[in-house]
Structure 1
């Protein structure tokens, strides 16, 4: 047996003989995926003629050279001849139960359970777009948790979901219900809303109790809420630290919605793991993000404004929300370039739901336009995202031990990242789903 081993970050490329496979010397295999090329997101290089072997549990058992390896007739051959393989993509900021074409008060046309029903189609659209893992940062009625359970148990089709349940926030803040008058609000606080450190700590525990795998908190005002401005800080550094400390104690990571500069800095100092949007970050905030010993990641949705400005009014989005969207959009893109250039760790986050879930692959070209190389943009949606999720043993790379979540495209995305706007095949756990 002749082996070629690349020790970088768990990536092994092995040249195995057919005799070894057939004799049972190799680990049990159920499928092999072959293609012309494969992108190694650790080295940034392309591997020619990969043969990716998958075990019964849907995880990769070995990676070989398809020109020299043989396999038995009992192994399913998934032939992607002429195509390039990449790891399944990861979107770190989605809202599966939020159709993009329903905005403002139009949401009142529908019953409460409607939103969970729409999440099923949204999940399918994201999977078809090549996103095999998504982090759902806030939902009503814990729709993301229910959908995750339905997908895991075979009742629905979709990506792997890292759910947050209800987002945490302050009374009257971005994560609270802000569109209705008091006479139409239910008595008591909305789920997830807290106004003291003890209440925030309780909400972390409550969300985890009912299935949350990440904690989402709103540190500043937002674009698509009412009576809040993106730059407003809505939780103190101390309150954010309480949330982060409590979540970390339970083994959970925390994502903070934070547009405003002061809220971003408070979230970084408070130990939050990912900063969502980061639109108005200032130089001090960028320096804090680069220097903090515990890694912090920016998830900046720099594509969706194209959709919201073109279609928002027709969809019912209020003019005040569109005004905030216009004011923030270019500043956020410029700050994306600045943060990336400074060395801030970046992950792919689209805010799908603000724009249609199936179109989010279009963000890659904007990430490249604003400073990333195609490989860096791909790494943001694979290697980096897996690190930020603390799921490096499962997703984010075509590597031994990880799930065989793989996409295929016709062209070379390192030459033209727009190849990722329309993927040709999607494999999840070693099975073709698109």
Structure 2
């Protein structure tokens, strides 16, 4: 629904229409603007409309003040929750937290008072491994024949909103059509569509025939659909890295090993060679971009860690030597337990899962929780990630329950999805806790997640950067 500010924006656009003689013709505009009709300059007028609406929305946020009355507040994972607190939010940032339920002074008569006295408030959650543009299903293998890039972006907007409503205010998207995922990222940033803050990697860098390359279709389609980020040898991989960064990613993703969801029987161990991985990491770091490595097998995990990657995603078969390299390098593990639990339960009767995929999925499932437990007990930096897209979007918090079931404390699980993930992104000065000066990303639940982590499956309230998006 259009706010008064947005209605004013549409009136401004109608005036422009009238002055130029151009008409828009969008059925959902206010009555005055609806009188516009389609013409050759519709596109630039629609673009102008979006720009003005975004500007007025941002203006409406500027100068806004909220007083959040919280029954309990977890300022930072690991800290003791505070009772009966007021979180004062100004211009999208936390100004202060004070004891008791304070009310705005007369000078702030327009301030919003939000009653969460019966709720447990904590920082917005962060997921470091999602795929917002799709969700695996029975028709996934044939859907690619009919799904346009535009449709991918629109589906991504739907899944992004589901993710935000689940309490995840920041995500790292590790693999999707570059044009679609960057458009989604930028649209969310401009508040054109609702969704979590997105840091995206676009297409993964992968070896020819490896995980990340196209597989399982006839040769003509193999040629057409091969991503431009497939590379062989260090020089090709240097060029591919530079090309990928030219397209505008926030991260670079490499597939150092085979993958479970590739329709090949090539296994899950190392596929990119040491010199290829080293060249990609050095090139990306030289251009100021961090690198995430999809890695299941121990050889590929060790090679990626020696090369200096910033995170290992999955890390399914990490061994003792890999654990030592994690500790030495300071790299983060993003364990993604969800596919290991949910995928085997969904394989029967689903034509997507060929025999080759089933074999790899069962092997990965059997190893993932024990590997995670070993890494956690060894003190590896663990950031939260789900691989949503392979598993259903909006169920991200199930991963927290799995982590606790595998031996992690509730406090540490929440820390992995807040401050640890913020550190991985290099955003710990802005996100991850509810400290003064940080962006006002916060959620609220009924019940105490420190006592029962499963309450995070049902988030009642979401605020992102000072804007209430779920109440």
In the alignment, structure 1 residue 78 sits paired with structure 2 residue 114: yes
The equivalent of 1:180 in structure 2 is 217
Task: Tell me the SS of whatever aligns to 1:272.
Answer: coil
Task: Tell me the SS of whatever aligns to 2:396.
Answer: helix
User: Counterparts of 2:310 and 2:326 in 1: how far apart (Å)?
Assistant: 10
User: Counterparts of 1:124 and 1:283 in 2: how far apart (Å)?
Assistant: 40
The equivalent of 2:84 in structure 1 is 49
Specify which of 58, 63, 67 is matched with residue 32 of structure 1: 67
My pick for the range that moved more, 140-149 or 155-164, is: 140-149
The equivalent of 1:425 in structure 2 is 461
User: Counterparts of 1:62 and 1:48 in 2: how far apart (Å)?
Assistant: 15
Specify which of 370, 387, 402 is matched with residue 423 of structure 2: 387
User: Counterparts of 2:463 and 2:404 in 1: how far apart (Å)?
Assistant: 26
Deviations 1:331-353 (A, max 9, x none): 11110001100111101110000
* Structure with greater contact order relative to length (CA < 8 Å, sep ≥ 6): 1
The equivalent of 2:152 in structure 1 is 115
In the alignment, structure 1 residue 210 sits paired with structure 2 residue 210: no
Q: Is the 8 A contact 1:127 1:159 kept in 2?
A: yes
Question: RMSD across aligned C-alpha pairs, in angstroms?
Answer: 1.9
Q: 1:184 to 1:210 in 2, by over 3 A?
A: closer
The equivalent of 1:7 in structure 2 is none
Specify which of 81, 98, 101 is matched with residue 137 of structure 2: 101
User: Counterparts of 2:369 and 2:139 in 1: how far apart (Å)?
Assistant: 24
Q: Is the 8 A contact 1:220 1:233 kept in 2?
A: yes
Task: Tell me the SS of whatever aligns to 2:397.
Answer: helix
My pick for the range that moved more, 345-354 or 133-142, is: 133-142
Q: Is the 8 A contact 1:95 1:351 kept in 2?
A: yes
Give unmatched runs, 5+ long, in structure 2: 1-62
**What TM-score do you get using the length of structure 1 for normalisation?**
0.89
Q: 1:55 to 1:207 in 2, by over 3 A?
A: farther
**What TM-score do you get using the length of structure 2 for normalisation?**
0.82
Aligned length: 405
My pick for the range that moved more, 176-185 or 60-69, is: 60-69
My pick for the range that moved more, 69-78 or 151-160, is: 69-78
Q: Which structure 2 residues correspond to residues 13-412 of structure 1 after superposition, within 5 A?
A: 30-56=65-91, 58-67=92-101, 70-71=104-105, 72-102=108-138, 105-113=141-149, 114-186=151-223, 189-292=226-329, 295-320=330-355, 321-412=357-448
My pick for the range that moved more, 207-216 or 120-129, is: 207-216
User: Counterparts of 1:300 and 1:230 in 2: how far apart (Å)?
Assistant: 19
Q: Is the 8 A contact 2:340 2:366 kept in 1?
A: no
User: Counterparts of 2:436 and 2:287 in 1: how far apart (Å)?
Assistant: 28
Tell me how far 1:109 sits from its aligned partner: 4.8
Tell me how far 1:278 sits from its aligned partner: 0.4
Q: Is the 8 A contact 1:99 1:118 kept in 2?
A: no
Task: Tell me the SS of whatever aligns to 2:223.
Answer: coil
Tell me how far 1:316 sits from its aligned partner: 3.0
Give unmatched runs, 5+ long, in structure 1: 1-27
Deviations 1:84-128 (A, max 9, x none): 111100000000012122455233452333322211111011001
Tell me how far 1:401 sits from its aligned partner: 2.0
User: Counterparts of 1:204 and 1:404 in 2: how far apart (Å)?
Assistant: 34
User: Counterparts of 1:65 and 1:278 in 2: how far apart (Å)?
Assistant: 43
User: Counterparts of 1:104 and 1:121 in 2: how far apart (Å)?
Assistant: 17
